[in-house]
């Protein structure tokens, strides 16, 4: 739910014993993987949206943001920042982080690789017009020749439904998010990856993910010009 500008402040940043509260802009950005992971775990959450630079500066002034950055997630009495730390906590809390240290290491490697690809997608809307075609080609090249072949091979070799330990994990959530994000820009990107095509169908039909993919969910649409303008307005120096 979108809070009015005057309410996104310390009065809204309270420790909550109930639903996690996410503070970010009303768009994907660095919060979208958090939304995906919570939704995949079947966890309902609330959101406060930053719409002005003044709201963001108030959070900094109030000492809420450890490194003066969002995303901010209030969960279990903590005010968590840094996307990777937030995701690791959620994955561990909801049993999506493997059964032992070796499985966690695999999940971490897969997540880090996917994150590298997602970083390119994250920055794409901010590309100058003359660079968009080149940057899109780079995303396509990295997806097809570097990242997706890894997961195609993993799924083919072990023949299981999930990436790690034959159990649904954070890595699976991150991968289905990435697949769908790349397909928005390059619809035929999975044409040479039959294992990933099957993985996409399996993941998309898991009840919690299927619900998240429905219209009206907390999932944000692809960034548009308005979102880019809001980001530049809120975080301008």
Residue 8 has pLDDT above 80, yes or no: no
Task: State residue 1's pLDDT score.
Answer: 34
pLDDT band at 86 (very low <50, low <70, confident <90, very high): very high
Task: State residue 222's pLDDT score.
Answer: 93
pLDDT tens digits, one per residue of 126-146: 999 999 999 999 999 999 999
Task: State residue 44's pLDDT score.
Answer: 95
Task: State residue 2's pLDDT score.
Answer: 37
First-residue to last-residue Cα distance in the chain = 28
pLDDT tens digits, one per residue of 36-72: 999 999 999 999 999 999 999 999 999 999 998 999 9
pLDDT band at 10 (very low <50, low <70, confident <90, very high): very low
Q: Is the pTM of this model over 0.75?
A: yes
pLDDT tens digits, one per residue of 15-24: 444 899 999 9
Mean pLDDT of 186-215: 97
Residue 235 has pLDDT above 80, yes or no: yes
Residue 189 has pLDDT above 70, yes or no: yes
């Amino acid at each position: 739910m979108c809070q009015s500008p005057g309410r996104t402040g310390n009065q809204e940043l309270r420790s909550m014993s109930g639903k996690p509260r996410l503070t970010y802009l009303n768009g994907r950005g660095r919060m979208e993987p958090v939304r995906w992971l919570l939704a995949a775990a079947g966890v309902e959450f609330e959101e406060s949206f930053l719409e002005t630079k003044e709201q963001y500066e108030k959070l900094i002034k109030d000492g809420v943001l450890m490194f003066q950055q969002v995303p901010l997630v209030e969960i279990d009495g903590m005010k968590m920042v840094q996307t990777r730390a937030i995701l690791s906590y959620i994955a561990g809390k909801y049993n999506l982080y493997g059964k032992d240290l070796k499985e966690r290491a695999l999940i971490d490697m897969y997540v880090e690789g996917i994150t590298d690809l997602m970083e390119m997608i994250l920055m794409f809307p901010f590309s100058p017009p003359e660079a968009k075609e080149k940057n899109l080609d780079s995303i396509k090249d990295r997806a097809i020749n570097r990242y997706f072949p890894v997961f195609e091979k993993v799924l083919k070799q072990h023949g299981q439904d999930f990436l790690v330990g034959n159990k649904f994990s954070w890595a699976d959530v991150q991968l289905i998010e990435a697949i769908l994000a790349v397909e928005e820009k390059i619809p035929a990107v999975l044409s040479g990856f039959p294992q990933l095509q099957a993985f996409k169908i399996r993941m998309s039909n898991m009840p919690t993910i299927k619900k998240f993919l429905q219209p009206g969910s907390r999932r944000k649409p692809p960034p548009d010009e308005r979102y880019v303008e809001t980001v530049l307005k809120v975080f301008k120096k």
